[in-house]
Structure 1
Amino acid sequence: MPVSLHHIVIDAHDLPALARFWAEVLGWRILSEREREVVVGPDVTAPVGLCFMPVTDRKVVKNRLHLDLTSGAEERADEIERILALGARRVDVGQSGEESWTVLADPEGNEFCIVRPKRTLVG
C-alpha cells in the first residue's frame, strides 16, 4: 500500500492560538492538544489534519509551501473579510493584481491563498 498524507505540519510560536485560528478559518475543531503538538481537523476520522509544532526561530522568508483555500464564488469576498477579522492580514508576495487569488498570512506570517472556486465539468 502506498503512503498517504496524514498531517500538514505548521511551525508555530503559539501553538494553541494558531491552531484556534486555523480551526476557525476551516470550520474544524481541535482534535488533540499536547505541550508540543496541537492537531486540528474536521473530525478524528478525517484522512488529513493540520498539526502545529513549536519553533523558536522567527519566519523571515516566503513559505515554500502554502495552502490554497476556496469557497463559493458568491461567498469569496465575505470569507476573505471573515478570515481577516480572525487575525489574518493581506500580504504582497509579488502579485500583479490580475490574479484569481488573494494572498493572506495567518497571525504568525504563514502565507495562504483564497482562490476562485473550481469549475465543475458537465457532461
Structure 2
Amino acid sequence: MASLVRHVTIDCSDPYTLARFWAEVLDGTLGEDDNPGDPEALVESAGAALLFIRVPEGKTVKNRVHLDVQPQDRTRDEEVERLLALGATLFEDHRTPDGKGWATLHDIEGNELCVERSAAERAATEAATA
C-alpha cells in the first residue's frame, strides 16, 4: 500500500499567527491545543491539513512548493480581495482579460500561494468556447 499525505508542513517564524491566517483562508479549524507562542500549530480543513512549525531562519528565496487555492462560493477575483483583506499581498498578477489565469499572492510570512478560478468560472469559460 502506498503512503498517504497526512498534512503539508510549512516552516515559519510564528506558527500560531500563520495558522490563524490559513484557517481563515481555508475555512478550517485551528487545533484546540494550539496557542500563541507554541512551536507548532495545525489547521484542518475539508481540502487539506497544514502543519506550521517554528524554525529559526527566515524565508530567503521563492518556495519550491506552494498551495493553489480554488474558491468554492465566490469568484477568483472576490477571493483575491478577501485574502488581501486578511493580510496577504499581491505578488504577480497572471489574470487575463478573457477571465483566465491566476493571481500569485504572498501570505503574511511571504510564502507564495496562487488563487485560481472557481469551478463555476471554469465551466462558464468552457461553455462559452464550446
TM-score, length basis structure 1:
0.81
In the alignment, which residue of structure 1 is the partner of 2:105?
Answer: 104
Matched, 1:113 2:111: no
Distance 1:48 1:102, change over 3 A: closer
Identity of counterpart residues, as a percentage?
Answer: 41
**Aligned residue-pair number:** 116
Once the two structures are superposed, residues 11-43 of structure 1 have per-residue CA deviations (whole angstroms, 9 ceiling, x without a partner) of 11111100000000110010242732210012x
> Structure 2: which 5+ residue stretches go unaligned?
none
Of the candidates 30, 39, 42, which is equivalent to residue 36 of structure 1? 39
C-alpha displacement of 1:75: 2.1
Q: Which amino acid aligns with 1:112?
A: L
Distance 1:10 1:33, change over 3 A: same
Distance 1:74 1:97, change over 3 A: closer
Runs of 4+ in 1 over 4 A off after TM superposition: 95-99, 118-121
> Structure 1: which 5+ residue stretches go unaligned?
none
Structure (1 or 2) with the greater helix fraction: 2
Q: Which amino acid aligns with 2:114?
A: C
* Mean Cα deviation higher: 8-17 or 28-37: 28-37
TM-score, length basis structure 2:
0.77
Structure (1 or 2) with the greater strand fraction: 1
